[in-house]
Amino acid sequence: MASHGVRRFKPVEKTPEERQQELQKIYEYRSLERLVSEEMAEQEYTAETLKNISDLLSRNPEYYTVWNYRRQALRHQFSDAEGSSEEVSTNQIAELIKDDLVFLIPLLRSFPKCYWIWNYRVWLLNEARHLLPLAVSRQFWQEELKLVGKMLTLDSRNFHGWGYRRLVVETLKQLGTPAEAASMTQKEFEYAKNMIGANLSNFSAWHYRTKLILELLEEQSASDDERRGMLDDELALIHRALIDPYDQSLWFYHQNLMCVFDPAAAGRTMAPSLSASERLQYLRNEIEAIQEMLDGAEDCKYIYQALIECTLLVSKVAGQLSTEDRNQILSWLSELQQLDPLRKQRWLDFERTLPNV
């Protein structure tokens, strides 16, 4: 259906043999489908049924109802295992879950954007959490971190991959001690850093970084000074990265950092307790640093946008817009109107609503 990124080809009329082959494939697929639904209707939750389900899902991993069948069949096998002694039961259930996790790997590889496979995997791991001793289920969840690391190496912007990573980390934190949780946040921070290092345009990694910083500071009960230290490091980092000012991802991270100086948003940022004069000082430094970036990049619209944004923040902190700042904004705005014709009306609206001195 939604064929994303499938290049065109010239449709050719099928030969009679090809048509016959296609019909044969349909026949096989539908027979298998019928067989599986009959087995489910008869509540035959056997190894044979599970095998047929695997076969069907390998042919069509989008078939969500069959993933539900698989859950039912597996739950049945779990409860069978629970009849045994605790040790045997644990081993049997762990074995079933392990096999199933292995079954999913090639499917995830071939269909990394299929919601249903990811969902099923999460369900399976949650079953492990509920049915198995902590040490065993934790092992499973730890393996996931490696897996999702591999997936994100293959496609560093995969939406599912990043969401899955957050979920795995969150769960591992819940399964560990507070100290282990804190060390995980630190490791994740390093991970995000490496991903950014590999590709500065990876906004998913930048986004993750913003969330991790807040967690890190929270877990360390960081003082205002330490928070300020973190802020200084981040500003230094983004200024170094902005050596390429044409990358939108970097500017979104920059915009995010600027929220620290916005009195309305500061409370939810890494440095919530800066004084007004500190905020103004930071913003003035920022404006100066960004203006330097214009040298040789006068055609880069993001620079003007950031300059305007910072200057507006100055007025927000100061409680008024000075004549000088207003004139500055208008001159940057005229550059923007030249450089950014796609968003012409946005800049006209902006000009109209710019407060008077």
Which residues contact other proteins (rule: CB under 8 A)?
1-9, 11, 19, 22-23, 25-26, 29-30, 33, 37, 59-60, 62-65, 68, 71, 115, 119, 122-123, 157, 159, 162-163, 166, 201, 203-204, 207-208, 210-211, 247-249, 252, 255-256, 259, 265, 268, 341-346, 349
Per the CB < 8 A criterion, the answer to whether 115 and 160 are in contact is yes
CA 155/CA 28 separation, integer angstroms: 34
Per the CB < 8 A criterion, the answer to whether 182 and 148 are in contact is no
Q: 141 is written with which tokens?
A: 């969840």
CB of 120 to other proteins, least distance (A): 8
CA 152/CA 265 separation, integer angstroms: 31
CB of 165 to other proteins, least distance (A): 11
Q: 72 is written with which tokens?
A: 């039912």
Q: Which is nearer to other proteins, 38 or 288 (CB)?
A: 38
CB of 84 to other proteins, least distance (A): 27
Q: Which is nearer to other proteins, 22 or 44 (CB)?
A: 22
CB of 282 to other proteins, least distance (A): 17
CB of 159 to other proteins, least distance (A): 7
Q: Which is nearer to other proteins, 326 or 343 (CB)?
A: 343
**List of residues 6+ apart from 104 with CB closer than 8 A:** 117, 120, 121, 124
CB of 39 to other proteins, least distance (A): 14
Q: Which is nearer to other proteins, 88 or 243 (CB)?
A: 243
Half-sphere exposure of 354 (CA within 13 A, CB side): 23
Q: Which is nearer to other proteins, 211 or 326 (CB)?
A: 211
Which H, E and C letters describe 199-260, residue by residue? CCCCHHHHHHHHHHHHHHHHHCCCCHHHHHHHHHHHHHHHHHHCCCCCCHHHHHHHHHHHHH
CB of 345 to other proteins, least distance (A): 4
Q: Which is nearer to other proteins, 90 or 182 (CB)?
A: 182
Give the distance between the most distant pair of CA atoms in the chain. 81
Q: Which is nearer to other proteins, 63 or 78 (CB)?
A: 63
Helix (H/G/I), strand (E/B), else coil: 85:
coil
Q: Closest by alpha carbon to 250, among 262, 260, 241?
A: 241
